[in-house]
């Protein structure tokens, strides 16, 4: 879908991006395979770049786009996704209040700057550290899952 979206745009009413599958297929890593699951990185630069590309393509065709998958309900992921432009995130109900609270603590301009900076990073670990610093500076470090990287 990533590269044929312009051809599909006339045939679909909306796009729903599944972050789990997108990450798995972009990185060629089965997250359920214990032998390689440790290299499954939701914050991998290529994953974020693909999500930005999808969003911008959908925008250019006036096609509604939403995000589903674990990244949408993850505190770091949700803030980056909104910074990339997504405004419809589908997540487990247990994450809604937390993500809503975190979004209320940040301006859209801040999130856009964070996303732009993340897109310039070479490694998922670097993006994670950048976001961890942002959360710490906001007094929100407790919202980040320990041991993510």
For residue 38, pLDDT beyond 80: no
Please state, in angstroms and as integers, the Cα–Cα distance from residue 119 to each residue in 9, 39, 47, 126, following that order. 25, 19, 10, 11
For residue 14, pLDDT beyond 80: yes
- pLDDT on residue 31: 77
Q: Where are the domains positioned within the chain?
A: 14-141
The Cα–Cα gap between 18 and 21 comes to 6
Question: Contact 19/72 with Cβ under 8 angstroms?
Answer: yes
Reported confidence tier of residue 104, pLDDT bands at 50, 70, 90: very high
Average pLDDT over residues 121-142: 95
Give pLDDT tens digits for 39-90.
Answer: 788 899 999 999 999 999 999 999 999 999 999 999 999 999 999 999 999 9
- pLDDT on residue 145: 67
- Which 8-state DSSP code applies to residue 69? S
Note the CATH architecture for domain 14-141: Alpha-Beta Barrel (3.20)
């Amino acid at each position: 879908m990533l590269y044929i979206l312009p051809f599909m745009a006339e045939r679909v009413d909306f796009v729903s991006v599944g972050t789990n599958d997108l990450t798995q297929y972009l990185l060629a890593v089965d997250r359920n395979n214990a032998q390689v699951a440790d290299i499954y990185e939701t914050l991998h630069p290529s994953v974020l770049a693909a999500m930005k590309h999808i969003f911008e393509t959908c925008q250019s065709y006036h096609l509604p786009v939403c995000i589903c998958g674990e990244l949408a309900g993850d505190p770091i992921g949700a803030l980056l996704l909104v910074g990339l432009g997504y405004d419809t995130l589908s997540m487990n109900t247990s994450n809604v209040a937390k993500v809503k609270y975190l979004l209320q603590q940040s301006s859209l301009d801040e999130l856009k700057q964070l996303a732009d900076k993340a897109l310039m990073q070479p490694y998922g670990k670097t993006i994670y550290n950048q976001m961890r610093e942002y959360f710490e500076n906001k007094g929100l470090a407790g919202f980040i899952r320990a041991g993510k990287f």
